[in-house]
């Protein structure tokens, strides 16, 4: 007759439970450290961007979009983190090609002018402000497209425009995608954008940065 060994399972269970607890604590600590590092870097980038607030305020007043000064700063955070001569990546909208902007002041003036055109067109078409922000990335033709689809920008509509309109117009007729490892993109579709199709997450990312700027500027 074989006797069962009593008390064997309980210590094993306790060991497994303790191991899981240690792993969970380790994951929590790691997540905290990553989050703290992210907020530290983001706060430093926001401080870089805020150095240009007076220049941005001057240009938004000049182009009659003063209420959107903070959105312009959020665009700078999105485009360059405040650490590039072409702060608003506005060379293409002004010159038709990249790396033609000579000073950060020129970048802001050109970028605000471009955004103002998008905002005024958006107002005329009765679309929301985030349509104008997305059009900063896509181009002005996106605005009547949104108007014909309800008047409000959202990521699914922006993806549709990117895939079906913008990318084919610029040569990508086969819906070729490339990796884009932004957290929002990874959550949405595994992290992809359409080649030559702009960034259909653009307005959401600017909106996200705007929220963090308001929090960290307090």
Distance CA 20, CA 25 (A): 9
**Pairing outcome for strands 192-194 and 177-179:** antiparallel
Domain assignment of residue 110, yes or no:
no
Residue 164 located in a structural domain? yes
> What is the residue range of 164's domain?
126-208
Cβ count within 10 A of residue 172: 17
Q: Does any domain span residue 54?
A: no
Least Cα distance to 136 among 186, 83, 82, 205 occurs for 205
Name every residue whose Cβ is closer than 8 Å to that of residue 208 and which is 6 or more positions away in sequence.
184
- Asked whether residue 81 is domain-assigned, the answer is no
Predicted TM-score (pTM) of this structure: 0.84
How many structural domains does the chain have? 1
CATH code at position 190 = 1.10.530.10
Give residue 139's region: left, alpha or beta (phi > 0; psi -120 to 50): left
Per residue of the chain (218 residues), give pLDDT as tens.
555 555 556 777 777 877 787 787 877 877 777 677 777 788 898 999 999 999 999 999 999 999 999 999 999 999 999 888 999 999 888 887 888 899 999 999 999 999 999 999 999 999 999 999 999 999 999 999 999 999 999 999 999 999 999 999 999 999 999 999 999 999 999 999 999 999 999 999 999 999 999 998 87
Tell me if 141 is assigned to some domain.
yes
**72 inside domain:** no
Alpha helices in the chain (DSSP H): 9-50, 53-62, 69-79, 91-95, 104-124, 129-138, 142-147, 155-161, 167-169, 183-189, 202-216
Residue 50, token pair as written in the block: 């805020």
């Amino acid at each position: 007759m074989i006797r069962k060994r009593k008390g064997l399972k309980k210590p094993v269970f306790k060991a497994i439970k303790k191991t899981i607890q240690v792993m969970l604590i380790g994951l929590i600590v790691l997540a905290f450290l990553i989050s703290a590092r992210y907020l530290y870097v983001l706060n430093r980038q926001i401080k870089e961007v805020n150095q240009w607030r007076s220049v941005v305020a001057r240009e938004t007043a000049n182009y009659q979009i003063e209420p959107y000064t903070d959105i312009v700063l959020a665009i700078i955070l999105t485009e360059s983190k405040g650490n590039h001569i072409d702060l608003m990546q506005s060379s293409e909208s002004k010159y038709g090609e990249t790396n033609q902007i000579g000073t950060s002041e020129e970048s802001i003036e050109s970028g605000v002018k471009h955004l103002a055109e998008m905002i005024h067109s958006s107002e005329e078409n009765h679309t929301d402000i985030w349509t104008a922000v997305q059009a900063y990335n896509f181009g002005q033709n996106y605005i009547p497209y949104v108007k014909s689809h309800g008047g409000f920008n959202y990521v699914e509509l922006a993806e549709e425009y990117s895939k079906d309109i913008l990318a084919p117009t610029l040569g990508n007729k086969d819906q070729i995608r490339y990796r884009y490892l932004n957290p929002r993109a990874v959550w949405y579709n595994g992290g992809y954008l359409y080649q030559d199709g702009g960034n259909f997450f653009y307005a959401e990312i600017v909106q996200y940065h705007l929220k963090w700027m308001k929090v960290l500027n307090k």
